[in-house]
Each structure stands twice: as C-alpha cells, then as structure tokens.
Structure 1
Amino acid sequence: MESALTQSKSSVHSLLNDAYERRINNLKSSIELAEKALAISKDLDDSSCIGKSLSHLSLFHMIIGDFDLAINMANEAIEHFEFENDEKGIADAKYNIAGVLYKTDDYNQGLTYLMDCLKTYKKLNDWHNKARVEKSMGTIYEYFGDTESAIKIYQSAIESGEKANDLNLQSNAFNPLSGIYLNQGKIRDAMDLIEKSIAYKTETGDTRGFAFALYGRGKIYTATKEYEKAENDFLEAERIHLEMGEKLGVAMCYHKRGALYIRMNRLDEAREILVKALEYSNKNRIILIKFRANLLLHEIAKKEGNLELALKYLQQYIDEKESVINDRTAKVIKSYDDINKMNQLEQKAQIQKERAKIIEKKKIELDSFFYRISHDLKGPITSMMSLSYVAKLEVKDETALKFLAEYETQTARLNTILDGLLNLTKMSFNEDTKQEIDFEKIIYDCISSYKFLTNYELVEFKISVDPTIKYRAEWALINTIIQNLIENGIKYARTENNKPQFEISVNQKDDCIEIISKDNGIGMDQETVDKIFTMFFRVNRKIEGTGLGLHILKRAIERLNGEVKVESELGEGSTFTITLPKH
C-alpha cells in the first residue's frame, strides 16, 4: 500500500515537472498536466501535492492572463503550504500573486510580495527562483522610473541565472536590459544583448521568451528607422503571444505597433491598433499600456489637428495617472523603505561575515605567535629546570634550598603554561587525522594519568559508556576534552564534608555523541560560569592551575563542530554536557 502511495506521489511530481518544462512553448498542455496532477493529489488527500498542483496551475493561469483564477488558486495553495510548513511553497505561490499584481494595476503591492519571495529564495540558495523574482522586480523598478535600480537587479538576475545554469533565466533579463540600453542611446549594446537573447531562446526552444526577444529587437529596429524589420518582429511576437495566451505580451505588441505606425505616418492604422490596445488593456487591467495608448492617441489627434479629441485623450491619460499612480506614491515610498531596510540588513550581515573573517585571521596569527613563542621558550625553561636539579645536588644551605624549591615550583608552573599554549595552538595547525574512538579506554587512561593529584584517592569515579557507539574523530581532540573534564573533577572536589564523586557518561543521542560529566565539587555561581572558557581565567586561585584547561577544552569542542553547556551551583557541584555531531 505504501509503495503504491509513493508511486502516486512520484507521478504527481513527474506531471508537475513536465508541466513546468512545457510552459515555455505549450501552456495548454501545461495546464492539462497540472490539472491531472491536482486530481491525483486530491484522490491521495495529500496536502503537499495539492498545494504544489494548485501553485503550478496558478502560475500558468497568471501567464495567460486568467488573473482572478490565478490569485484564488495561489491563495488556496498557500493554505496547504502553511499547513505543511513549506516556506518555499509559500514563496512560489506568492510569486504568482505578485505576477498578477504587477502585470495589472497594483505593481507596488506586487513588489512587496516579490520582496518576501526574494528573502526566502536567498535563504534557500534557490538561484532559479531568485532569478525569476529579480527579473520581475526589475520590471517594477522600470515602472517606477528607477532605471539605476532596474539595471542592478537585472544584472543580479543574470548572475543568478548563470548560477542556476539556465540560459532562459539569463535571457529573460537580457530583454528588458536591452530596452534600457536603447533608451540610453546605446544602440550597439542593446542590439548585441537582444541578439544574444534570441540565440538563447532559439537554442532552448522557449517560444514565449522568443516572442519577448523579438519584441525587444523590434523596438531597436524602430529606433534605427528599419521600420519594415520592426513591423515584422512586432507582428511575429504578437502572433506567438496570441497563440500562447500571453495577454501582457499581446498588449505590449499592440502598443509598439501603434508607436511604429505613427513614425511611419500611417495614422489610421496607428489609431486602429491603439484603440484595440486600449480596449484590450481595459478588459485585462493592464494599466501601463492604458497610459501609453492614451498618450499616443493624443499624439495622433494632435497631428490631425483634432484638438478637442487630443485634449480628451490627454485628460484620460492624466486622470488615469493621477488616480492610480499618485494615490499610490506613499505605498511606493514604503516599498522602497522596505527594500532599503532589507539591503541594510544584508549589508550588516556581510559586514559581520567580513569581521568574522578578520577575527579568524587574527586568531590564526595569534595562534602562530603563541606556537612560535612557546616553542622557543621551551628550550630555556627545560635548561632552567635542569639547572635547578643540579643546583640542589650541590647546595646544602637550607635557606638556599627553600628558595630553590620556590624557583623550581614557579619554573614548573611556567612550563605547564607553555605546554597548555602549545596544545592550544596545535589544534589549529594539526591535520585532520580521524580514527575510531574508544571512549572507555580514553577515560580510564586519563583517570590513571592523574594519580599524582592531591584529591585523587578520595574521589569515587562512576563511568558509563554505550558500547555500541561508532564514532570517528581526531583522537587528540577527544583526549583533550576527556582529560580536562577529569582533571577539573578531581582538582575542584569538595572533600571537607562529603564523599567526592565524579561521574562521566558517553551515549549516542540522535546523530550526536553526548558526553556528560557531573561532580559534587565546589561548584560555581553564574557569574563565574560565564567566564570559565576565557583564556587564563581561574575559578579558584587557591588551587593550582594555569587557567588554560577549559579554554583548550572549548577550542577542541569547536574544532569538532560541537557544543558545550555548563550547569553549576556554588557548593553543590557542576555538570558539563558536550554534544558532538557524528558527521
């Protein structure tokens, strides 16, 4: 039964992938396949599959201009994705809603939706969808008249398309960017880019995209006064858009043909196609073409000396612009404020990354410095310790021997500090040499190595290791962690009124190894707990130590990508919980 269910879900995903691929040249087939996927999903009563099917259908209906249906399906898809906690699915459905909004009469709200989508796709490193969103945002920036932002976002869309290894995504941004170059008078750049787009669209078989590329080339031919070539491109693009059901593309072609015919002084044909563009845009709520069609009809009437009609079209243009554009100025500003906030957050994140790199570099430099200095000092200190030993053989005066003993103690302490620094820096420079870890052996070996400590004989050790654990890591790092836990458990034992105990356990928890050490020693208050991993910090000055042990332990844990938590109470003892990921 489970196998049949898995097969059915796989069938849904296969249908939707096929439908998405076909959208570039056969939207009718895309819709049929997605509807079939939706029917199977409903039979399965699978919320995730239903959401994905609805989202795909919403996209296809948005493309062909069935805007109300597209929004209804997208909102229904979002309900399923929210139930499934699928943030990518939510972003996909919001992208469809944004497409409807900016293609009709609410592009500032469309921008808000696109910004939400962009955050999600950036977080998921989804280059394919990031490119789609950026291209759409560029279009809206152009609507706002913000050419500088449009260029930047189109260039980012091209980079995202390259990372997705998708020629269509790249060429989708080539088309509008070519238009901007054309408006800036960079005819050669505009033509080079649009020809590249046409080549990409031909190679990939993207019929819809090919139509938009032809439209872009038609605009360049209009600017270079190659009117016949321009008309051919507009007519072919228009034919494809009508066949594909791409309503925005159809309206754009009607408008540009009208502008072309005015240039060619074919005013009757220009008026006819612009009236058609106006009616078509009114019917499909394509606000931008309405503005532009009214403005061009005003130009025709003025050329023909019909000032009353010219004034009428101009008034319609102004009324439309004021009622839609000016009323939304505040919202547009808010959208830009939101974008600026998002950009500022991204800049802060980038600054933090750069700062982390600098800190890491300085840390490596500091480690290198410590390593060199510690290594260089080891020789003289070893000589000093040897000299002390020889001196004790010759000196008989008790006062002198007392001073020599103090000298020996301090030299030994300095030697211990240097050993700690060398161990610390070796972690940064040692190569990754992983081996199977025998936790039980390491624990017993470490306990045995501390027999010389004052409290050793008094402490009761309790050891528990899961024998089924399989874990590979750098032996030296694990040994460092265990060794420091045991050393502290012995050194900071509370011996006056209770039986000192030290417990250590190693178990597997999910995909992690969990090491827990627990003692009933002197314990710490919270202020002390917050400082214990600081280099050279010592919990108790009366107890011998360098203040390096826990700092070294923390560095070893970090090297293994693990975490450590400390719970302690003054006079009651401490518990260290270390979690090390297995992979």
Structure 2
Amino acid sequence: MQPNPLPNRTKDSTAKTISEIDSMLEYAQEARVSNVQLAINIASEAREYAIQLEYLQGQAKSSCLLGLFYMITAKHDLATNFAHKAKELFEAIDDQKGIAETYYILGSVAYKSARHHEGLEYLYDGLRILQQLEDLPGQSRVLKAIGYIYESFQEYEKAEEIYHQSQSISKEIGDKNGESNACNSLSALYLRKGDIQHAQELIDRSIKLKKETGDKRGLAFAYYGKGKIHFHQKQFELALDYISQSLNKHKYVGEYLGAAMCHAKLGKIFFELDDLDKSLKCIEESLQCGEKLNNDEVRYHAFEYLYKISKKKGELVKALYYHEQFHECKSRVINSGTKSRIKSLESMWRMETLERDAKAQKEKADFTERKNQELRRFVSRVSHDLKGPLTSMIELNKVVKAEIKEENALFYFDMYHRGLKRLNETILDLLELTKLNSRELQFTEINFQDLITECLDSFHYYPNFNDIDFQLHIEENLKVLSDKGLINTVVQNLLENGIKYSKHGISDAYVKVSVRSMSEDYFAIIVEDNGIGIGEAYQEKVFDMFYRANDEVDGSGLGLFLLKSAIIKLEGDVKLESEEGVGTKIIVIIPVIPKSDN
C-alpha cells in the first residue's frame, strides 16, 4: 500500500501553512514503510518550514520522526540528537504522547547499541506514560521492544510473555502491523524451542498481515524469519529464496541492519551448499554493513565465517588473521554485553520492584477505599437512625418551656437542649459528608447572586444576624460551570463561619463576600470578616475533622472540614488568613470549567 501523494509539495515553496506542514509529516510517516530516505527528506523539509513559522508542535513532531527514521537506518548519533531535541520541544508544549515517543526512540537506539540497561529504562518510562494515556498502539510497540531485551539476555519465558501481551493488545485494537511484529518475534522463540509448527504458523500470519498493510520494511523482516525456519530445516533453496527477497526489500527501504543480517544468512546458506566463493562474497558484504554501522556483533559473526571459509579453502594465513579479528570483536561484544547484562538485570529488577510496589500500593488504596466506603455507610446508617429520635427530643424542649416554670430546672434543661442541638448538627454534617463523598458531579452554570442570597436567608435565625453588614461583590459577566451542590456547601460554610465568629456588641461588624475571576481558568470566592479571628497556633488545624478552635461557639467541628472536602472534589484550593482579635479571610480558588471538560 503506497502512501497517498502529497499535495502541492514543491521545493520552490517559500512558505507553508501549519496544515500543509502537518500533511507533510503524515506523508513522511506513511512513506517510512516503503522508502525511509524519502521519509527523511520530507520530514527534514517540514522541520525547516516549522522553524520558519515558529510552529513548535511541527518542530517537535518532525524532529521526533527524524529520530525514528535515523534509528531505523542505524544512524544512531543523529537519531539520538533529534530525539533529545524533540523531547525538549514536547516538554515545552506538555505533549505527553510525544515525550513517550522520544523515549521509545532513545530506548531503541540504546538497546541496538548494546546498552540494554539504558534501553530498558527509557522504554519503561515511555510505557508508563502510554498506560496513563491509555494509548494501546504505543503500548504494543514498546512492549515488543522490551520483549526483545529480555530475549537478548535469554530470559525467554519473560520475553514470550511480553510478546504475547503486545500481540493481544494489537489484536484488540485491530493493529495489523503491531500484531505482525509480535508474531515475527514469537515465531523466532518457537523456532528456538524446536516447535516448528507454531513457528511456521506465526511467521505465515506475520507475512499475511504485512502484505495487507503494505509495510515493506516489516515484510522484509517477516521474509527473513521465514527463511530462518527453512534454513533450520535444511531446506536451503527455499531459505535462499526468502532471504534474497528480504535482502532486496531491506536495500529498497534503506534498512542497513536488516541487510547485514540477510548477507550473513546468505553466506551461511552458501557455506552449507559448499559454494565458498558466493559465501565469501555475501559475508564480506555483511562485514561492510557492520563497518558502516560500527556494529561489533555484525563484525564478529562475519569474521567467524571468513575464518571458516579461509580454513576450508586452505588459506591458513587469512584464516589466522580472521580468527584473531573474530576473537577481538567477540571479546568487545562479550565485555560490553556482560556489563550491560548486569546493569540490565539490575534495571529489570528495579522496574519489576517498582511494578510490585505500585501493585501493593494500589491494593492498599483499594482496601482503604473499601473500608472508607464501609465506614461511610455505617456513619450514614447510624446518623439516619439517630436523626428521628433527636428531632423529637429537641422538639420536647418546647413542651418543657411551656409547662415547667422552676428556674433551676429550666437551666439544666437548657444545657441538655444545647447538647442535643450540637449532636444534631454533628449528625446533619456527617450525613452531608457521606453524601458529598459519594455524589457524582453535575456541572451547571452558577448564578452566585441567587445562591448567596439563598444561603444568607437560611441564617436569619442566628441571634447576631441583623447586627452584621453583609457586603456582596460579584464580578459582572462571570461565567462559571461547576457543581451547584458543592458550590453551595462551600458558600454555606464560609458564611456560617463568618456569622458565628463575628464580634458581638459592635456597631461595625461585617462579612464581605467577593466572587471574581483569578485568571482565564480559575475563579475565587473570598469571604472576609472582622470577627474574633483565629490564633496562629490553630490555623493549620482548622480544616481537620471535628477540630474546633473556640469552644464558646456552637458547632460540630465539621464545617471547615466539609468545606475543604467539597473544594478538593472540585479540584480547587483554599487559603486562610487570620489574626486573632482582628478577623479572618478565606480565599477559595476553583476551576472556571471542570478540568475533565477542558
């Protein structure tokens, strides 16, 4: 499947629009499966235009694609440089998916350069972001790369488990290329185990999917896998056919590492067929690829067969030279690989430990939430059962006042009545708290004038209500989308606090209420009074459950705790400023529009 032609893409263009740059990048992404060099050219051109326009998203995306394309062609320094540039740009615009993509590139470059521990850490960092974003295609691709690292260190069971995860995710979302890649890797594992039937089934599935998607580079690797199976079965003619097809496709798309693998495998086939001249030519071409890639692993495999060919030809001087080169390269690979293996196993252990810790934390959080739910249900049930009898007992006080005239008895009944009222307030607040924790948020536009007026009307029965000057300042044209019930809880408790703790017997008592925007995304509710204030020693505790800084004022000790709980549910924040004997100001900051709707 060829990429769709790019409209109006000419070298003469002096400027491009953002949409045109995006189209170029989409075209480059499609082109990479059939012609990597073409993809590089397009992405480079798009990057230049994005820089001219100061289009950061375009600069980040084009740099990221160049990192990917240079990684495919084994130009690891260029790939790393572009990936780091892209990461900085994605971080500047807070594009988490883009950051995860750069981690994939950096991780792939690292493990392909035998720095498996680095690769594993980058890949796990990317995987965590993709899991948070619920990006399944990205997860599938990263899992396959992680599986390759486990396979490199002969952790075959773990590798197989991860490849199956990758395959399962790809099947779930209909990602044929992702599924095909996983099938290719699983086929190689089954071949290693000697399970030829499953290896054949998986590689045939991989080839079928690659043909359907038109991924030439992926098809080249699938043909290589098919050729390996025939080589394992000593079906050398069939092996030659598939490996040759793979080599042609790798050359066409510019995949040098794949070409090196194919040259080496062809050399081995011709060696088995005793055609030493052809074997020599193929191995020398593989060595040239290894030199170009600066890859010691490719070199030492090439020198191993050059030694065997020279020895079989009786060219002992050459054989000795190749034998020395083989051991020198292999020594570098083994030394580097051993250190990397130790670091990688440490990284694997660290990552798996983190995963276990995260799982334990989640189980602990789930357990705590279950217990909290049970406690909320218990509190709600007990509070509800007590509410009826308490109301009857409070109403009984009217009968007492009407029928009993003895002052001493009335004094004790009044103490009893105040205790019942406090208990009733606590029960009502506990019921409100259980409702608050379990309620689903419902967002509507808030009319603060009406809401504050209704709240004030509910406090008319407070003995000092008429002595307070209430001052309202609501910003004109302020549009707030929020949960009315929770906003009501916030305003109700702010006002009640200001009224309860006002100074009695003064002529200038006031409670000022302001509602105004703080920025484009947030608004503030500010309630200020000149009441008795809160001592500095108590200010950190006033939002705690059942904490009361002043026992002379009636209350359950839950008002400000309810206030804070409602604000947290609205993803807001609260700040308290107070001076004892001077007054209190409480500033509540809440998103203008719920974050989930942004």
CA–CA distance in structure 2, aligned partners of residues 507 and 566 of structure 1:
17
CA–CA distance in structure 2, aligned partners of residues 377 and 238 of structure 1:
82
Aligned to 2:394: 385
Is residue 539 from structure 1 mapped to residue 549 from structure 2 by the alignment? yes
Aligned to 1:524: 534
Is residue 288 from structure 1 mapped to residue 302 from structure 2 by the alignment? no
Using a 3 Å threshold, how does the CA distance of structure 1 residues 317 and 15 change in structure 2: closer, same or farther? Answer: same
Asked whether the 8 Å contact 1:103–1:248 carries over to 2, the reply is no
Shift of 1:352: 3.5
Using a 3 Å threshold, how does the CA distance of structure 1 residues 502 and 159 change in structure 2: closer, same or farther? Answer: farther
CA–CA distance in structure 1, aligned partners of residues 408 and 186 of structure 2:
90
Identity of aligned residues (%): 38
Asked whether the 8 Å contact 2:502–2:532 carries over to 1, the reply is yes
More off after superposition, 202-211 vs 454-463: 454-463
How high is the TM-score relative to the length of structure 2? 0.84
Shift of 1:240: 1.1
> CA-to-partner distance for each residue in 1:153-193, whole Å, 9 max, x for gaps?
43454456457653212322322232122212233332222
Aligned to 1:580: 590
Aligned to 1:9: 18
More off after superposition, 40-49 vs 460-469: 40-49
Asked whether the 8 Å contact 1:443–1:482 carries over to 2, the reply is yes
Asked whether the 8 Å contact 1:22–1:29 carries over to 2, the reply is yes
Shift of 1:440: 1.8
Report SS of the residue matched to 1:370: helix
Aligned to 1:26: 35
CA–CA distance in structure 2, aligned partners of residues 559 and 107 of structure 1:
43
Q: How do 1:258-273 and structure 2 match up within 5 A?
A: 258-264=267-273, 266=275, 269-273=278-282
Report SS of the residue matched to 1:565: strand
219, 228, 233: which one aligns with 1:219: 228
Is residue 569 from structure 1 mapped to residue 585 from structure 2 by the alignment? no
Using a 3 Å threshold, how does the CA distance of structure 1 residues 174 and 508 change in structure 2: closer, same or farther? Answer: same
CA–CA distance in structure 2, aligned partners of residues 238 and 333 of structure 1:
34
Using a 3 Å threshold, how does the CA distance of structure 1 residues 103 and 433 change in structure 2: closer, same or farther? Answer: closer
Aligned to 2:446: 437
Is residue 452 from structure 1 mapped to residue 461 from structure 2 by the alignment? yes
CA–CA distance in structure 2, aligned partners of residues 267 and 542 of structure 1:
102
Shift of 1:127: 4.3
241, 248, 251: which one aligns with 1:239: 248
Report SS of the residue matched to 1:534: coil
183, 193, 199: which one aligns with 2:202: 193
Q: How do 1:93-492 and structure 2 match up within 5 A?
A: 95-96=104-105, 99-100=108-109, 102-103=111-112, 114=123, 117-118=126-127, 121=130, 125-158=134-167, 161=170, 165-264=174-273, 266=275, 269-298=278-307, 313-327=322-336, 329-395=338-404, 397-430=406-439, 434-492=443-501
Shift of 1:105: 6.1
Question: Residue type matched to 1:382 in 2?
Answer: T
CA–CA distance in structure 2, aligned partners of residues 462 and 287 of structure 1:
79
> CA-to-partner distance for each residue in 1:84-141, whole Å, 9 max, x for gaps?
6767656655655655554456555555655565565556555444444443343344
Structure 1, unpaired ranges of 5+: none
Asked whether the 8 Å contact 1:122–1:130 carries over to 2, the reply is yes
Question: Residue type matched to 1:543 in 2?
Answer: V
Question: Residue type matched to 1:427 in 2?
Answer: L
CA-based RMSD of the aligned residues comes to: 3.6
Report SS of the residue matched to 1:453: coil
CA–CA distance in structure 1, aligned partners of residues 74 and 567 of structure 2:
57
CA–CA distance in structure 1, aligned partners of residues 369 and 450 of structure 2:
34
Asked whether the 8 Å contact 1:364–1:428 carries over to 2, the reply is no
Shift of 1:222: 2.4
Shift of 1:422: 1.9
Using a 3 Å threshold, how does the CA distance of structure 1 residues 283 and 389 change in structure 2: closer, same or farther? Answer: closer
Question: Residue type matched to 1:293 in 2?
Answer: A
How high is the TM-score relative to the length of structure 1? 0.86
Shift of 1:208: 0.9
CA–CA distance in structure 2, aligned partners of residues 55 and 239 of structure 1:
27
Shift of 1:438: 2.4
Question: Residue type matched to 1:199 in 2?
Answer: K
Shift of 1:235: 1.3
CA–CA distance in structure 1, aligned partners of residues 221 and 507 of structure 2:
84
More off after superposition, 169-178 vs 35-44: 35-44
540, 559, 563: which one aligns with 2:569: 559
More off after superposition, 72-81 vs 354-363: 72-81
Asked whether the 8 Å contact 1:104–1:287 carries over to 2, the reply is no
> CA-to-partner distance for each residue in 1:205-258, whole Å, 9 max, x for gaps?
111101101111221222234333222211111111122221111111122233
CA–CA distance in structure 1, aligned partners of residues 441 and 168 of structure 2:
35
Asked whether the 8 Å contact 1:563–1:578 carries over to 2, the reply is yes
Using a 3 Å threshold, how does the CA distance of structure 1 residues 522 and 10 change in structure 2: closer, same or farther? Answer: same
Aligned to 1:549: 559
Shift of 1:14: 0.5
Shift of 1:505: 0.8
Asked whether the 8 Å contact 2:296–2:332 carries over to 1, the reply is no
CA–CA distance in structure 2, aligned partners of residues 5 and 518 of structure 1:
60
More off after superposition, 234-243 vs 167-176: 167-176
Structure 2, unpaired ranges of 5+: 1-12
CA–CA distance in structure 2, aligned partners of residues 555 and 396 of structure 1:
45
508, 513, 529: which one aligns with 2:517: 508
CA–CA distance in structure 1, aligned partners of residues 256 and 162 of structure 2:
24
Asked whether the 8 Å contact 1:294–1:313 carries over to 2, the reply is yes
Question: Residue type matched to 1:519 in 2?
Answer: D
Report SS of the residue matched to 1:404: helix
More off after superposition, 345-354 vs 438-447: 345-354
CA–CA distance in structure 2, aligned partners of residues 284 and 254 of structure 1:
14
Question: Residue type matched to 1:174 in 2?
Answer: C
Shift of 1:11: 0.8
Shift of 1:464: 0.9
CA–CA distance in structure 2, aligned partners of residues 399 and 72 of structure 1:
88
May I ask how many residue pairs the two structures share in their alignment?
580
Asked whether the 8 Å contact 2:530–2:584 carries over to 1, the reply is yes
Asked whether the 8 Å contact 2:467–2:507 carries over to 1, the reply is no
CA–CA distance in structure 2, aligned partners of residues 534 and 217 of structure 1:
67
Asked whether the 8 Å contact 1:505–1:515 carries over to 2, the reply is yes
More off after superposition, 45-54 vs 481-490: 45-54
